[in-house]
Amino acid sequence: MTTTEPTPEIAVDPNAVNLTINGRPVAARKGELIIAAADRSGDYIPRFCYHPRMSPVGMCRQCLVEVEGPRGPMMVVSCMTPVAEGQVVRTETEQVKRAQEGIIELLLANHPLDCPVCDKGGECPLQDQAFSHGPGESRFIEEKRHYEKPIAISDLVLLDRERCILCDRCTRFADEVAGDALIHFTSRGNNTQVQTFPDEPFSSYFSGNTVQICPVGALTAQPYRFKARPWDLEKTESTCTTCSVGCRITLESSRDELLRYQGVDSDPVNHGWLCDKGRFNFESVKSDARLSNPLVRDGGSLVETSWSSALSTAASLIRSAVNAGGASRVAVLGGARGTNEDAHAWARLTSALGIDSVDAQLGDGLPADVLSYPQATIDEAARASTIILLAPDLKEELPILYLRLRDASEKKRSRILEFTAKESGLTRYAWKTVPYLPGTQPAVVASTLADAPISAQMATGSVVVVVGRSNLAESDEYTMAALDAVMTAHPNATVLPVLRRGNVRGALTVGLGRRDAVDILADAVNGEIDCLVLVGADPIGDCPDTELARRALAAIPNIIAIDTFATASSSKASVLLPAAAFGEKDGTTTNLEGRVTRLARKVTVNGTSRPDWMVALELADVLGHDLAMASVSDVHADLVSSNAAFASATRSALSAHPDGVVLEPVRSSSPSRVVPPAAERPGFGYRLVVGRKLYDNGRNVAESPSLAPLAPGSALHMHPLDLERLGAADGASVKVSGDRTSIVMDVKSDDSVQRGTVWAAWAQPGANIGELIDSTKWVNDVKVETL
């Protein structure tokens, strides 16, 4: 072995590439495409098919540039050609100009140029680039292509094939990003067109993204069609709080009316994508069913009143409950749907009053100490070599997280090891899917992890456990015990908790998770609660044990509800206060990985609605507790200074980082846990699994006219062989019985359900499966009979 002189300090980066674009030196990375390098150097190259989040296809040929080659300048497509050391690129020569103008002319040849009536006109890449890089006029005098315009390719998206320039963006998105290859090119040559398969609509949860990335007006979304011209839209950046992924979005309004949400490319979170529920539920903000004025019960009915009188009634209800039996007679549920400031103001108020019965979840999540495990971010999960899923169906509950994990698997970065009671959206991308019967999850996880091939895989790199509530009809302790089994086997694993409500993590972090809601409701049934405050919470609709919630609310004399809509629970309220909705208030939110981002107000509130934080501060005032805060920025400042977890989420930090600031880790000692008993096989009937579908009868779907019809409706899903044994036909009505009661549901044949179990979706229009869930039981079994 020969010794060499130590290398000088100047380390040569093996991935650095130096090239010249239009005579200026540009530093790039190996593998980067010329078009991306040119974007950074400020040499804009026109493009249609290229999209930085999808693989290049080189179809539109608009990005042709000149590259110096051994035999003189060559025309190459810059979206397909990687940079190379010493490469000389020219984007503005006569030849390039001629080629780019030629392509624009060809693209416009069959384009209808109906810009004056096109929704895209004003923000259209074809229009813009026809001006900036086009020849100025067309010499095409032939008759243009004609198609029926537009055709509905799904319930939400319409396609105008005359405007389409066949760039493959939507079809590529559907196939590559969403995994729903339901639209495709058909026919060929000049008749090539985007189409769905016959009788199979483009019913993807991500269809709205195709509208956003369409470089022309070919794809339009039903909720926005003909609602505004782009130059009339005012935009502000915010964060979606429909679920806890926290996608960055722009709120776009005209004449003080929300008209559209668009995805913003946030590298750590959503990569520019949105799910259709998040994208289109702005309709619910302007629903006529919104509460607009405070209501106070007078005799039997709720009567409109002023804020001051409603607040003093509410305060007197709380005061008299406290006076009668102490703060333990008052409970507060909710706070996970608002902002961090909303939650913090309520945490301060409840602390000031000494109220301990506080929970932001409604027995449908996981114990709050899931946040005390070593935490992982979404990026860390999507880079982990092994992703363990102890989670619900992410495609249904947290669609963008599903996209990120699907991508991790598709790009071969990660292997997914899934433990599930029913096949999920990620099952087809999972490396291994281990089914378990509800009640056996910890044992199944422990024994699976002991397998040699599994531990060999786990040893290849980082392990992230994605953990959430996968079955509402089973105790959450099983999932926690399963998580502990993973952590015992792999102490270096990190945890990504996937609690689903928009700001549940923020609410729990500010202290709105002091007692389990199920225990609070049980107390109420026993007559131990006199006053219940519902902060955007609907226990009857959200608590898995419907019977428990109904009895609890019936037993509580006084209920104060703060909500955007009247709900099953708020109809029992003595005081009903209208709350400002998303898009109507400023603040910050915390996503499931603990990322704090800003949320913005775009439109004025509905009626006299007020944000939750303001209600808390005013109630505090009436109750004689001066919290010394008067504005949302006061509340934010108080949060940052009083809560160590939020120390870095200052106003200036959030302004500097639009992608947000991740909460400081807060370690607490692991609490002692009840070890759930391993459940026997169901003695009679079937073990019940209750999960969620993206579209349900939750308010922001039900009050969005475009989304409401998409809820699949209530049905009992059974394995086809179980169905055969039962002797029921697919679609027949059956009687489903638990210990307490029976309900009648339609049965659906579904081979993603395990034999011996039945699956039903939570909160669907139709029969309510919650009637059969008894939260005092470890697992719930049901009997199914034909009618």
201, HSE (Cβ side, Cα atoms, 13 Å): 15
Pick between residue 141 and residue 787 the one whose CB is nearest to another protein.
141
Helix locations, 365-433, DSSP H = 378-383, 394-397, 399-410
| The one segment of 21-29, 188-196, 661-669, 779-787 that binds another protein by CB under 8 A | 188-196
Q: Is 192 a residue that touches another protein (CB under 8 A)?
A: yes
| The one segment of 106-114, 290-298, 517-525, 699-707 that binds another protein by CB under 8 A | 106-114
Query: With contacts defined by CB under 8 A, how many residues of the chain interact with another protein?
Result: 34
Helix locations, 141-242, DSSP H = 169-172, 207-213
Within residues 136-155, the interface with another protein by CB under 8 A covers: 139-140, 142
Closest CA to 165 of 218, 121, 119: 218
| β-sheet bridge partners, residue 749 | 718
Among positions 28, 33, 34, 59, the unique one binding another protein when judged by CB under 8 A? 59
Q: Is 260 a residue that touches another protein (CB under 8 A)?
A: no
Within residues 601-630, the interface with another protein by CB under 8 A covers: none
Pick between residue 60 and residue 349 the one whose CB is nearest to another protein.
60
Give min distance, CB of 231 to another protein, in A. 28
Cα torsion 30, 36, 39, 41 to 10°: value is: 10
Give min distance, CB of 74 to another protein, in A. 8
CA distance 593 to 193: 41
Q: Is 566 a residue that touches another protein (CB under 8 A)?
A: no
Backbone φ and ψ for 560, nearest 5 degrees, come out as -110, 120
Amino acid at 664: E
CA distance 209 to 279: 9
Among positions 37, 38, 83, 107, the unique one binding another protein when judged by CB under 8 A? 107
Pick between residue 5 and residue 142 the one whose CB is nearest to another protein.
142
Cβ neighbour number for residue 226 with a 10 Å cutoff: 9
Q: Is 387 a residue that touches another protein (CB under 8 A)?
A: no
Q: Is 115 exposed, middle or buried (0-12, 13-18, 19+ CB in 10 A)?
A: middle
Closest CA to 310 of 618, 50, 44: 618
Q: Is 62 a residue that touches another protein (CB under 8 A)?
A: yes
Q: Is 80 a residue that touches another protein (CB under 8 A)?
A: yes
| The one segment of 52-60, 245-253, 653-661, 703-711 that binds another protein by CB under 8 A | 52-60
Q: Is 412 a residue that touches another protein (CB under 8 A)?
A: no
- Could you tell me if 149 and 248 are in contact, meaning their C-beta atoms sit under 8 angstroms apart? no
Give min distance, CB of 195 to another protein, in A. 12
Q: Is 110 a residue that touches another protein (CB under 8 A)?
A: yes
Pick between residue 165 and residue 343 the one whose CB is nearest to another protein.
165
Give min distance, CB of 23 to another protein, in A. 22
Query: Interface mask (CB under 8 A) for another protein, residues 209-248, using x and -?
Result: ----------------------------------------
Output the six-digit token pair for 498. 């996937």
CA distance 614 to 633: 12
Give min distance, CB of 66 to another protein, in A. 10
CA distance 404 to 382: 6
Q: Is 57 a residue that touches another protein (CB under 8 A)?
A: yes
Residues found in the chain: 787
Among positions 185, 298, 641, 644, the unique one binding another protein when judged by CB under 8 A? 185
Q: Is 58 a residue that touches another protein (CB under 8 A)?
A: yes
Amino acid at 352: A
Closest CA to 616 of 290, 347, 295, 317: 347
Q: Is 54 a residue that touches another protein (CB under 8 A)?
A: no
Give min distance, CB of 150 to another protein, in A. 20
Secondary structure of residue 428 in the 3-state scheme: helix
Q: Is 197 a residue that touches another protein (CB under 8 A)?
A: no
Q: Cβ contacts of residue 102 below 8 Å, gap of 6+?
A: 135
Give min distance, CB of 80 to another protein, in A. 6
Among positions 54, 84, 88, 109, the unique one binding another protein when judged by CB under 8 A? 109
| The one segment of 29-37, 59-67, 669-677, 731-739 that binds another protein by CB under 8 A | 59-67
Pick between residue 107 and residue 463 the one whose CB is nearest to another protein.
107
Pick between residue 187 and residue 652 the one whose CB is nearest to another protein.
187
Closest CA to 349 of 546, 645, 111, 562: 562
| The one segment of 99-107, 530-538, 622-630, 647-655 that binds another protein by CB under 8 A | 99-107
Q: Is 190 a residue that touches another protein (CB under 8 A)?
A: yes
DSSP H or E segment with residue 615: helix 612-622
135: DSSP letter: -
CA distance 780 to 764: 19
- Could you tell me if 587 and 629 are in contact, meaning their C-beta atoms sit under 8 angstroms apart? no
Output the six-digit token pair for 347. 């945490």
Pick between residue 82 and residue 713 the one whose CB is nearest to another protein.
82
Backbone φ and ψ for 596, nearest 5 degrees, come out as -95, 125
Binding site for another protein (CB under 8 A): 56-62, 64, 74-75, 80, 95, 98-99, 102-103, 105-107, 109-110, 139-140, 142, 165-166, 184-185, 187-192
